[in-house]
Chain A
Amino acid sequence: MFFRRTIFNISIFWYIGFIIIPLCLLLFLSFQKIGNYGEIINNFNLGNYERLLQYSQVKVFLNSLVLSFLTMLTCVLLSIAISYKLYFLRRTQSFVLLGFILCPFVINSIIRYYSYRLFISPKGLISDWFDWSIIPTDVVVMMGMISSYLPFSLIPIFIGFLKFDQEQVESCFDLGGTKLQLLFYILLPQLKKYLFSGGILVFIPALGEFVIPDLLGGAQRIFIGNVMIDQFLKFRNWPMGSAIVFTLIFIFLLFLIIQIQIKKIKIREVK
């Protein structure tokens, strides 16, 4: 019994100390105000959240939401296309191809952005033949986002395709369906939950992204990540930063609840 109690205490200490207490601190800080000399003044007010509702801040949130939504959409569509192609190959072949597609994603993210930036710079590999300046920075940022978030949606969606009931596919072909009909009428409607979880896995981290817009876009358009880092590290306005973080966490929890709800439905269907 002593052993059980020890491991229980250790794990509860970890979660309380490093997840729950910081969360509470964050909530507490977000209702404070900052003084003239950067000190935190202890009086309860909603000023930070009111400031978040101003037009400029709402625009930042909208920027981020649009960027992550577009990233999610493209990633999911690309993943569907890739896994649909891989689905009809032999197993070993499809795994080798998947490995080829996923291989660059295992290396350090900063190196990846570095090589992308080198690629689009005037010294890049194809810059002699192709003028990169005609492509707007927003598109470059989007390309960076897609290329770094593709695995998050590709892996769940590919697993969904792999798990799919083979008999249904055969009966579709027996009844004279084409491959595209198979995709739109049979595969996609039944793989909805995999598409959804793949999308969420892209959407949530993309919302807090800071490095890609900063390095590839030259920080021309401001996203939540940039604002957060500025508030915490540059202006030292921690209460304001906490308010932003808390709003983000609120959005994440919303998605988490949706995800759990979907899982529950899935379990019920199985039962």
Chain B
Amino acid sequence: MTTTTVPEDPREIVHIYRWDLDKTYIKTEFETWQGLLRTAFQKPEDKTNIPGAVSLLREICQHRDDERVVVTFVSGSPTQMRDRLLRKFELDGIKPDLLVLKPIVQNILKGRFRAVKGQVGYKLGALLDVRNFTTTAAETLFGDDAEMDAFIYSMYADIVAGRMDRDLLRSILVEAEVYASPMQRILAFADAIEPHDTVGRIFINLEGRTPPGRFLPFGARVVPIVNYFQAALVLWSDGVLALDGVVRVAAGMLARDQYGLFEFANSFQDLLRRRVLGSDALERLQQEAEEVDFSILPSQLADRFVDRVRALAPRTNVDARQFDETMPDYLEILRSDRALKQRVTEVPRRLF
């Protein structure tokens, strides 16, 4: 049933990283026609990365010779952009195993205009499509707040874990106004999946600065972030990334993206404040920092970072929010999202 697969390789897949592209990996503006056109015609060398994305991708792709890490990109960009995007990856030194793009022109030609903008049917279908049905490798997902990545990724996590039954899945797809043919495809994929709870963290880059609290209904699995230093810290606390990997991500952001001590310390405090990390992460950081080579960072930066983070830490110990197997109420999330959009578009009647 799989129509798109990652290239064959005899090595065991130990981790799969699934990325969105626009506003997750590269900066894109598609809210206006002007921005959309600029994006479409932008040369690969002119496309700007989200700070830390390339450094983090390089770090998470590190693995032993007999193991394999898979990186897939599923994007809402049109298929016509494939060559430019592959060239962009080449410039960044990234080799994704798979790049899936949206058949926007086909949708227009078939008169399926809702599918041009809608993401649920396309992206959920594509994620299930590219998944090896029997994989037990851990998955980490990266998306953004521009569309419905948190919703789609979270649904994907529940489908592959076997937590979502067929009737509920169908009701959600109907509520999300997914066309009949992608709906049938998604249901067929869901039926064929051998359930494994493989999805760990779902990172949502808050490029649009959506309040992080809007993602609380999705549970602790979904982690809103404002930079990839935060993602690196969470992956380090989960044991996926070593501390020296976090240091290299930070060094990349220092060198290329004008990040400094305050941005890093405030980012750490933000994770503590939202209980993505607990106070134990701070203790662990201090212990591990003694054994890490910080020579790629400016002198004293690491010490100053630890001091500042300690100074900003909550006075009482906090525990990180724990993963919960309870499914989010997807139907309620869709309805409240719609109600919120309506409230935002209502203009208050005031004379002055």
Question: Are chains A and B native binding partners rather than an unrelated pairing?
Answer: no
